[in-house]
Amino acid sequence: MADEGAVGAEGVAFEMDVEAGKIREFARATLSSNAAYMAGEHPVIPPTFLTTTFFWEERAPGRNPWPLVHLDPQRGMHAEQEYVFHGPPPRAGTRLVCRSRIEGVFHKVGRRGGRLTFAVMVTEFRDATTGALVAEARMTGVETEKPPEAGP
Amino acid sequence: MSARWEELRPGATVPERRVGPLTRTDFVRYQGASGDMNPVHHDEVFARAAGYEAPLGVGMFHAGVMATWATDWLGPENVRGFKVRWKEPVWPGDVLTITGLVARQTEKDGEQRVEVEIVCTRQTGGIAAQATAVFVVPPATS
């Protein structure tokens, strides 16, 4: 059962260095061979690259407020993910300051009548040098009333 | 080389991209790159205990492939937004087809932009994910 008290909770800000090797590894894993990622010292990031905050937030506790929502991992799914860039996406060599907050918890009735609980976390990415807001990520998770359907 | 504004009217498109049959290796390579090591996507024993018959596809993996299709068309440095919604699970052995088209042309802050709708379809015809991406279209230089 999701904890609506988590709404407004903020994680501790953390730094993320945008690295060329990580960009190339990520591009390859998403089946890209685009020269914009694979060549040059300062490649631009792929559109979904900021998901690699995983590596940076796990280095210290309190950076990721998502667990405070307590969606049931057995019935939880990633429902929606959005990235917004306020200008060209950041390039390798940029240091970003990242901060996540729980934006909301809400309920809907699903197509099959079950109650669905949604939770939304927003992460802001600021240029560590200028303080400018570079990008935002919005993650929506859903918890179903019954376990999701199984099987290929 | 990016597409030009005049060519990007609503309905404009480029050839589809087909990927697969997907393997557990595709999922693991993505997980290692992204840092999301949820075992449900690679550990057969864990996935079965969670009620699945096989490791569940990584939604962010095929979201990333959808983004790859779009950036190959419209230019990696031109992206300004990408939003994906997952509709049904993907499994090892699936063949995914990425298609999409320009939904609308807009202007913001003096920049010309296109909104592109992208669909990821399984070999069953089921829709695995839908995305909307926003790209700026730089003025032609030649």
* DSSP helix/strand/coil, B52: coil
Could you list the pLDDT tens digit for every one of the 152 residues in chain A? 678 888 888 999 999 999 999 999 999 999 999 999 999 999 999 999 999 998 888 777 888 888 888 887 777 888 999 999 999 999 999 999 999 999 999 988 877 778 889 999 999 999 999 999 999 999 999 988 765 555 44
A77 touches chain B (CB under 8 A): yes
**Inter-chain CB proximity B81 and A83 less than 8 Å:** yes
Residues of A in contact with B44 (CB under 8 A): none
Best residue in A16, A25, A30 to probe B by mutation, most B CBs within 10 Å? A30
Report pLDDT digits (tens) over A118-144. 999 999 999 999 999 999 999 999 988
Please give the residue of chain B at the shortest CA–CA distance from A34.
Answer: B72
A10 touches chain B (CB under 8 A): no
Token pair recorded at residue A47:
């559109």
A37 touches chain B (CB under 8 A): yes
**Contact in structure between A3 and A82 (CB atoms under 8 Å):** no
- Rg of chain B over Cα atoms, rounded to whole angstroms, equals 17
Domains of chain B: residue spans and CATH: 5-136 (3.10.129.10)
* Alpha-carbon distances of A111 from A74, A105, A145, B51, B59, rounded to whole Å: 20, 19, 12, 22, 21
Residue B114's contacts (CB-CB under 8 Å, 6 or more residues apart) are: B8, B74, B102, B104, B105, B106, B134, B135, B137
Return the sign of the alpha-carbon dihedral for residues A112, B83, A59, A20.
Answer: positive
Give the integer Cα–Cα distance in Å for B100 and B131: 9
Give the integer Cα–Cα distance in Å for B77 and B80: 9
**Inter-chain CB proximity B65 and A31 less than 8 Å:** yes
Residues of A in contact with B24 (CB under 8 A): none
Please give the residue of chain B at the shortest CA–CA distance from A86.
Answer: B80
Q: In a 10 Å sphere around its CB, with 0-12 CB exposed, 13-18 middle and 19+ buried, how is residue B15 labelled? A: exposed
Residue B60's contacts (CB-CB under 8 Å, 6 or more residues apart) are: A48, A51, A78, A81, B30, B34, B36
From A98, A143, A145, select the one nearest A120 (Cα to Cα): A143
Domains of chain A: residue spans and CATH: 4-143 (3.10.129.10)
Report pLDDT digits (tens) over B86-115. 999 999 999 999 999 999 999 988 899 999
**Inter-chain CB proximity A89 and B76 less than 8 Å:** yes
